[in-house]
């Protein structure tokens, strides 16, 4: 009887994983259609405006993410200088840092803030299974978001084993 219970649990996890992979594939197809002019991997988006700062992000892990996992994000900027030593100082044009937000979080509700090219982000223990967005948003020295906004997203698929 124990063996049957374990087998059903494994099947349930495999079905959940297959469903998430199908959803991730569908989402990446939609993003590819939206970004025909500029091809990026499904884990990375690149945003900004023609004359302003731009940011892109990639993650070392996006699928089969577990609560408590540590994910390394690699952040690349154009027309902007990352400098964490200037956080809290008067603004300088196109100089600042970034904040990493989970899903719809904003303001001071961030997972990390940094001026480095890479940052480690811990997946919250209370995260639910399914797709979640990590958003990297460029900020000025005074901690205000740059205007117009420059942000990049990476999508995670979370499920518990």
Q: What is the pLDDT along the chain (161 residues), one digit of tens a residue?
A: 554 455 455 555 544 555 555 455 555 444 433 333 233 333 444 555 567 899 999 999 999 899 999 999 999 999 999 999 999 999 999 999 999 999 999 999 999 999 999 999 999 999 999 999 999 999 999 999 999 899 999 999 998 87
Q: CA-to-CA distance for 135 and 105, rounded, in angstroms?
A: 9
89: three-class secondary structure by DSSP: coil
- Give the bridge partners for 6, in sequence order: none
In the chain the domains, ranked by start, together with CATH numbers, are 2-158 (2.60.40.10)
Written as six digits, the tokens of 83 are 């400098």
Task: Determine the length of the chain.
Answer: 161
pTM above 0.85, yes or no: no
CA 86 – CA 76 distance, rounded (Å): 18
């Amino acid at each position: 009887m124990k063996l049957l219970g374990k087998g059903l649990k494994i099947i349930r996890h495999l079905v959940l994983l297959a469903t998430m992979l199908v959803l991730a594939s569908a989402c990446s197809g939609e993003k590819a259609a939206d970004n025909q002019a500029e091809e990026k991997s499904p884990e990375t988006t690149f945003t900004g405006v023609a004359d302003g700062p731009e940011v892109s992000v990639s993650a070392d892990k996006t699928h089969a993410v577990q609560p408590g996992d540590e994910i390394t994000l690699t952040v690349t900027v154009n027309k902007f200088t990352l400098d964490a030593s200037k956080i809290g100082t008067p603004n300088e044009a196109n100089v600042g840092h970034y904040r990493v937000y989970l899903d719809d979080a904003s303001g001071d509700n961030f997972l990390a803030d940094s001026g480095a090219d890479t940052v480690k982000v811990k997946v919250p223990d209370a995260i639910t299974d399914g797709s979640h967005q990590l958003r990297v948003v460029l900020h000025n020295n005074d901690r205000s978001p740059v205007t117009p906004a420059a942000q990049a997203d990476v999508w995670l698929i979370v499920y518990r084993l």
